[in-house]
Chain A
Amino acid sequence: MNVWLGMPPFPEAARQALGDSQLRANLRAATATIRTKRAAVVAERDDWEQLREAGRAIKDRALRDLDTYLLQLEAQVTDAGGTVHWARDADEANRIVAGLVRAAGATEVVKVKSMATQEIGLNEALAAAGITALETDLAELIVQLGHDRPSHILVPAIHRNRAQIRELFRREMPGVDPDLTDDPVALASAARAHLRRAFLAARVAVSGANFAVAETGALVVVESEGNGRMCLTLPEVLISVVGIEKVIPTTADLAVLLQLLPRSATGERMNPYTSFWRGTTPGDGPREFHLVLLDNGRTTALADEIGRDALRCIRCSACLNVCPVYERTGGHAYGSVYPGPIGAILTPQLRGPDPVADSLPYASTLCGACFDACPVKIDIPRALVHLRGKVAHPPGERAAMRAAAWVMSRPPRFAVARLAARLGARLARLPGPWRRWTEARDLPTPGESFRDWWDARERP
């Protein structure tokens, strides 16, 4: 996985981010906007919980028989004139893509925003092979022009406001109108003019996919601007890099996920453009289609009975927008292409142990807002606690987390622990390695526990 060199672990990176008041203001404004929009379109659906439950089950079913669905997808895509490649890791995927671009005789590719290609560091690998990758999504373009890093899954330039974007365009975009205003419409028009020539001249495009339907071999890309359609339609060769967890069984399943995703992502009933294609179509679109199926740590996550829930993720980023930690630190502090709550459980599993990844399961207050917002019901707090027990950290903490997981997984154990906690609370100071925590805090001592109150309350 693409490691951001020189990134400190989360607590240190977060401290730096918290010192940037402009960043916090930008994030607060943007996440507040999207939370309001999402709440409004979700409230329109009185069957939202049923949709979420269906979404969860669809992804679980796909993962439970992943080998079968991948083979079905491969057969369908091949039958429709596409070529399917398999990549064990990032290096292998990058080599495959670079080889295909070279075989097409191209030195430049246009790209649709894709988390998978960011994860494997494709742009850097292509650059090393002498191939220029041009990002075409507006936010990705802002990030690329600013020699910056993405800070949000859906809106990678969320950390920049309109005035900052105008300055960047005036500085970095060749031939841009020097009187460009910071009106978002004007900024979008500038991006349109800047990329038009590249779209019309491009011979090779690289994309990801939001979904791959095993039953039909359809690849699906969900977008807003039309840059995706440009890349999927105009070039001669299309290469799609898709994580193996993106496969879903049927078209009926797709209908569920296409209702969950836009409402959760941009707070819209539907996003402006969704493209569905199957292999190649004579006379319409690329004459060559390559699908690169990527593992890169996904099978490691799949082997973990709790951690595998993260593979249900459809990359909507609703969990980022509701997270009190993300809203204050922004995405960069997570040191990963997958920031926020989902990043905190995905990164350690995909990337394997390192100081940044190991710090991420702690980048949370376990408040649970992410779980409530997730359209496929990933219990992120549960996975965070589970991963805290797995990543490297001081033995005392590890033992405490294991003990907590053991106690909380069975109601009778929890009941005993509650009683013990109430007795123990009278000590007011925790013993041993936990003493430092209580030195600065009072251990809360409610008169009765919630459960006791619940059991004893008068029922109507």
Chain B
Amino acid sequence: MPVNARDEVLRRVRAAIGPRREHVDVPRDYRRAAPDGTDVVALFAERVADYRADVRLVGWDVAAEVRRVVRDLGIRSLAVPVGFPADYLTGLEDGLDGVGVELRRDDPPLSTADLDATDAVITECAAAIAETGTLVLGAAQGRRALTLVPDRHLCVVRADRVVGAVPEVPEVPMPVTWISGPSATSDIELHRVEGVHGPRTLVVLVVTGS
């Protein structure tokens, strides 16, 4: 007689399934990619804007647009994860374009209290999904708390990271967070309203490279 819970649960599972196990085929004839000819970057921008994210298309000068966002939103302190490209932050600390912001690098790691007292965070993404307007952040984009505790999240999305559909998302080292718009809830009368515990403002900078 099995005595521990693990053996007992497994014994029950095997008894329930029985001796005959018929093969179950999984039909994979659902769409595995966005339809041919889809402009995935344009679709991504449209879909993420549907969630009431602040979407900005950027040609090549990412740093100039970051400075504009910082000024528009009145951001005074900005958390920066390890490995974030320095050239996207050009001029932020030097007061260029009349912007004065304190960059708080997550090295050594910022405490949760520090993050709570930081206006915003800026990250890249490992991938972005056009059909669903989703940002995919993995271990390489920084600790998860960085994009959670500050009230504003700025995310730089390079066009070459945008895929069409969910099954096209590449393997990303865990922990992984998918973000589709700002924090929201549908708990009151099933109407979606933005802004609960996660960042209430999501700014997405889509870098088209033109």
Q: A233-B148, A283-B143 are in contact. Are A269 and B180 (CB under 8 A)?
A: yes
- Bound complex: CA of A57 vs CA of B29, how far in Å? 12
**Which residues on the B side are within 8 Å of A139 (C-beta)?**
187
**Which residues between 1 and 37 of chain B lie within 8 Å of chain A, taking CB atoms?**
4-6, 8-10, 12-17, 21-22, 24-31
Does A70 make an interface contact (CB < 8 A)? yes
Q: Are B179 and A66 in contact (CB-based, < 8 A)?
A: no
Q: Are A234 and B145 in contact (CB-based, < 8 A)?
A: yes
- The winner among B27, B109, B169 for most chain A CB atoms within 10 A is B27
Does B177 make an interface contact (CB < 8 A)? yes
**Which residues on the B side are within 8 Å of A251 (C-beta)?**
171
Q: Are A54 and B183 in contact (CB-based, < 8 A)?
A: no
- Bound complex: CA of A266 vs CA of B10, how far in Å? 35
- Bound complex: CA of A30 vs CA of B129, how far in Å? 29
**Which residues on the B side are within 8 Å of A161 (C-beta)?**
189
**Which residues on the B side are within 8 Å of A162 (C-beta)?**
188-189
A45 CB to nearest B CB, Å: 8
Chain A, residues 201-244, CB within 8 Å of chain B (1/0): the string is 00000000000000010100000111101101110000000001
Q: Are B26 and A284 in contact (CB-based, < 8 A)?
A: no
Does A181 make an interface contact (CB < 8 A)? no
**Which residues on the A side are within 8 Å of B194 (C-beta)?**
185
Q: Are A187 and B188 in contact (CB-based, < 8 A)?
A: yes
Q: Are B17 and A66 in contact (CB-based, < 8 A)?
A: yes
**Overall SS of chain B's interface:** loop
- Bound complex: CA of A142 vs CA of B196, how far in Å? 14
Partner of A225, one of B6, B139, B179, B183: B183
Q: Are A67 and B14 in contact (CB-based, < 8 A)?
A: yes
A191 CB to nearest B CB, Å: 6
**Which residues between 1 and 49 of chain A lie within 8 Å of chain B, taking CB atoms?**
26, 29-31, 33-34, 45-47
Does B193 make an interface contact (CB < 8 A)? yes
Does B47 make an interface contact (CB < 8 A)? yes
Chain A, residues 228-271, CB within 8 Å of chain B (1/0): the string is 01101110000000001000000111011011000000101111
Which stretch in B54-62, B63-71, B83-91, B130-138 binds the other chain?
B130-138
Does B166 make an interface contact (CB < 8 A)? yes
Q: Are A88 and B5 in contact (CB-based, < 8 A)?
A: yes
Q: How many residues of B contact A (CB 8 A)?
A: 70
Partner of A299, one of B13, B143, B178: B13
Does A188 make an interface contact (CB < 8 A)? yes
A385 CB to nearest B CB, Å: 21
- The winner among A70, A158, A229, A308 for most chain B CB atoms within 10 A is A229
Partner of B47, one of A34, A92, A195, A269: A269
Q: Are B197 and A230 in contact (CB-based, < 8 A)?
A: yes
Q: Are A184 and B174 in contact (CB-based, < 8 A)?
A: no
Does A50 make an interface contact (CB < 8 A)? yes
- Bound complex: CA of A427 vs CA of B167, how far in Å? 59
Q: Are A274 and B185 in contact (CB-based, < 8 A)?
A: no
Q: Are A57 and B190 in contact (CB-based, < 8 A)?
A: no
Q: A64-B22, A234-B145 are in contact. Are A226 and B197 (CB under 8 A)?
A: yes
Does B75 make an interface contact (CB < 8 A)? no
Does B186 make an interface contact (CB < 8 A)? yes
**Which residues on the A side are within 8 Å of B186 (C-beta)?**
34, 155, 224, 266
- Bound complex: CA of A281 vs CA of B185, how far in Å? 28
**Which residues between 156 and 185 of chain B lie within 8 Å of chain A, taking CB atoms?**
166-167, 169, 171, 174-185
Q: Are A303 and B15 in contact (CB-based, < 8 A)?
A: yes
Q: Are B9 and A86 in contact (CB-based, < 8 A)?
A: yes
Q: Are B189 and A272 in contact (CB-based, < 8 A)?
A: no
Does A179 make an interface contact (CB < 8 A)? no
Does A199 make an interface contact (CB < 8 A)? yes
Partner of B10, one of A47, A67, A191: A67
**Which residues on the A side are within 8 Å of B189 (C-beta)?**
26, 29-30, 33, 161-162, 184
Q: How many A residues touch the partner, as a band?
A: 35 or more
Partner of B8, one of A88, A155, A188: A88
Partner of A252, one of B8, B31, B167, B184: B167
A355 CB to nearest B CB, Å: 26
Does A285 make an interface contact (CB < 8 A)? yes
Partner of B175, one of A187, A277, A303: A277
Q: A54-B26, A226-B148, A302-B16 are in contact. Are A155 and B190 (CB under 8 A)?
A: yes
Partner of B185, one of A158, A224, A232: A224
Does A60 make an interface contact (CB < 8 A)? yes
Q: Are B175 and A58 in contact (CB-based, < 8 A)?
A: no
- Bound complex: CA of A196 vs CA of B178, how far in Å? 22
* CB nearest to A300 among chain B residues: B16
**Which residues between 139 and 188 of chain A lie within 8 Å of chain B, taking CB atoms?**
139, 142, 155, 157-158, 161-162, 165, 184-185, 187-188
List of 8 A-B pairs having minimum Cβ-Cβ separation, nearest first:
A226-B198, A226-B197, A299-B12, A303-B16, A225-B196, A270-B132, A302-B16, A139-B187
Which A residues lie at the B interface, using CB under 8 A? 26, 29-31, 33-34, 45-47, 50-51, 53-54, 57-58, 60-61, 63-67, 70-71, 85-88, 92, 136-139, 142, 155, 157-158, 161-162, 165, 184-185, 187-189, 191-192, 195-196, 199-200, 216, 218, 224-227, 229-230, 232-234, 244, 251-253, 255-256, 258-259, 266, 268-278, 281, 283-285, 293, 295, 299-300, 302-303, 308
Which B residues lie at the A interface, using CB under 8 A? 4-6, 8-10, 12-17, 21-22, 24-31, 47, 50-51, 109, 112-113, 116, 129, 131-134, 139, 143-145, 148-149, 166-167, 169, 171, 174-199
7 pairs, CB–CB < 8 Å, chain A vs chain B: A142-B187, A155-B187, A185-B194, A244-B9, A252-B28, A283-B143, A302-B17
